A and B are shown apart, each in its own frame.
Chain A
Amino acid sequence: MPRTKTEVIASRLAEMTGLPESFPDFLSFGELYEGPFHFAPGEQIWGSGQKEGYVWFVQAGYGFDKIDLEDGTTMLNGMIEPGLFVCDEKNLMWGSLTASSAKMSTHTTAYRLSTKEWRNFIYSHAHFRSYLYRINAHFLQMRKLRLMKLKHQDKKAYWEETKARFPGIELYCTQTEIASYFGVSKSTMHRIMK
């Protein structure tokens, strides 16, 4: 039986936190989301330089998000996959214009909540807030690991690991974008990928 938007989002939050999906805050949070929104391969969920920001929940579909760098180039950030909550963090934190973009590579179904409504919900739900802090704390550890891998892991081994984690990455991203994910030049990346 198809599940409602609210059930799908509450179920994912339950999976992330270990709490039951009937936890009232999860249901009220899921209820706030708009959608579904459908994206075809090659379409952006959001682009860089946009004022309106949303916290997206991806129910189905794969893609990649890229972040803008100070020198005007972009850097591949990571894969967007089913079950992910994803947003432009700068926009979420300070309401700035988005400094990233997210392009989907396959047919995608997603839901969205405006960052303003997201913030209002977090402020008015203390329990939900405490679970968010825990999730963010684990997210911080993942980013620490990503930073260390970027700096120190053997690039060939990291490429093999990345290919396994993001199947088809070389079909959907240019070699320049992949090189940016590994912090190497395009020519070095070409050698690694051979």
Chain B
Amino acid sequence: MTQQPVHTSEILTILTELLHPDDRFLFTNTSEQLVFEKFSFSKGTIHSNFNELNNRITIVKKGVVGVSHRMHALVNWSHFYTEGDLVFNLEIHEDLNRMETKWHVLEDTVMYSIDTNVPDAHPLKKLMVAFKLQRSLLCSYQYQHYIKEHGLDRHEYSVKWIREHSKIAAALPRKELANFLGISNSSLKSFLKEALADA
């Protein structure tokens, strides 16, 4: 872990968009004061908790982290964090993690993170409280988003997902990929063919 300023416009845009529009004024002219810490994860590592990211807003700068849960014998993937995604380590918080949720680092990954725990007198206190509230709401809203994706037409959704995430699709065993997309192995075979036809 190293400390360094990373005021890239992409990261600042992600942070701005995380805030409620009424709170975005808190971010005006303050971004230079944010302290980012860099976290690196090596490909192949698996994390069943990561307390270093507690009380933080964390964004993937590069790499891929897959999130799995235990239900029945199979590894059940729910989502994959890629560049630009906000990461929620609450899903693997050791006190709450009853489904053995794990992070699987599928590619060497770099995340940038800011600590939202600041003293009351800190000039960015209000901004950090706003970030913390949004993070708290967003982590469960994100799961609602994954649930919603299963209401979409499986054929259309699966082909689109495979096209947009061809590297992840190629890295997963077929059975686990079919399971992630909520389709049968035979459907996966034809959807893969369709998705990769123009690749």
Interface residues of A (CB under 8 A from B): 67, 69-71, 73, 75, 77, 89-90, 92-95, 116, 119, 122-123, 129, 132-133, 136-141, 143-153, 180, 183
Please tell me which stretch of B6-14, B95-103, B106-114, B186-194 contacts chain A, meaning at least 4 of its Cβ atoms lie within 8 angstroms of it: B95-103
Chain B residues closer than 8 Å to A141, beta-carbon distance: 96-99
Query: Shortest CB–CB separation between residue B89 and chain A, in angstroms?
Result: 11
Residue of B nearest to A142 (CB): B140
| Interface residues in B30-80 (C-beta closer than 8 Å to A) | 69, 71-72, 74, 76, 78
**What's the Cα separation between A102 and B137 when bound, in Å?**
20
Chain B residues closer than 8 Å to A92, beta-carbon distance: 137
- B69 close to A137 (CB less than 8 A): no
Residue of B nearest to A67 (CB): B148
Chain B residues closer than 8 Å to A70, beta-carbon distance: 152
Q: Which of B93, B141, B151 contacts A75 (CB 8 A)?
A: B151
**What's the Cα separation between A147 and B145 when bound, in Å?**
10
Q: Which of A71, A132, A136, A150 contacts B153 (CB 8 A)?
A: A71
- A75 close to B148 (CB less than 8 A): yes
Query: Shortest CB–CB separation between residue A95 and chain B, in angstroms?
Result: 5
Interface residues of B (CB under 8 A from A): 20-22, 69, 71-72, 74, 76, 78, 88, 90-91, 93, 96-99, 101, 126, 129-130, 132-134, 136-141, 143-144, 146-148, 150-153, 156, 179, 182
- A144 close to B151 (CB less than 8 A): no
Residue of B nearest to A69 (CB): B151
Known contacts A69-B148, A123-B129, A141-B98: A151-B179 contact under CB 8 Å: yes
Query: Shortest CB–CB separation between residue A42 and chain B, in angstroms?
Result: 23
- Name 19 interchain pairs, CB-CB below 8 A, sorted by A: A70-B152, A89-B141, A93-B137, A94-B21, A119-B22, A129-B133, A132-B133, A133-B132, A133-B136, A136-B137, A136-B139, A137-B136, A140-B140, A144-B99, A147-B143, A148-B71, A151-B182, A152-B72, A152-B76
Q: Which of A71, A138, A140 contacts B152 (CB 8 A)?
A: A71
Known contacts A71-B153, A137-B93, A140-B91: A132-B136 contact under CB 8 Å: yes
- A93 close to B141 (CB less than 8 A): yes
Chain A residues closer than 8 Å to B74, beta-carbon distance: 152
Residue of A nearest to B67 (CB): A144
Chain B residues closer than 8 Å to A143, beta-carbon distance: 140, 143-144, 147
**What's the Cα separation between A143 and B140 when bound, in Å?**
7
Query: Shortest CB–CB separation between residue B92 and chain A, in angstroms?
Result: 10
Q: Which of B99, B150, B179 has the most CB of A within 10 A?
A: B150
Given contact pairs A143-B147, A146-B143, A151-B76, enumerate 10 new A-B contacts (beta carbons under 8 Å).
A77-B144, A93-B134, A95-B22, A137-B93, A140-B96, A144-B99, A148-B69, A148-B78, A149-B71, A150-B182
Query: Shortest CB–CB separation between residue B45 and chain A, in angstroms?
Result: 22
Chain A residues closer than 8 Å to B134, beta-carbon distance: 93
Chain B residues closer than 8 Å to A146, beta-carbon distance: 143, 147
**What's the Cα separation between A51 and B182 when bound, in Å?**
34
- A69 close to B152 (CB less than 8 A): yes
**What's the Cα separation between A115 and B74 when bound, in Å?**
41
Known contacts A71-B152, A152-B71, A183-B150: A95-B144 contact under CB 8 Å: no
Query: Shortest CB–CB separation between residue B149 and chain A, in angstroms?
Result: 9
**What's the Cα separation between A147 and B141 when bound, in Å?**
12
Q: Which of B126, B133, B141 contacts A122 (CB 8 A)?
A: B133
Known contacts A122-B133, A129-B133, A144-B78: A93-B138 contact under CB 8 Å: yes
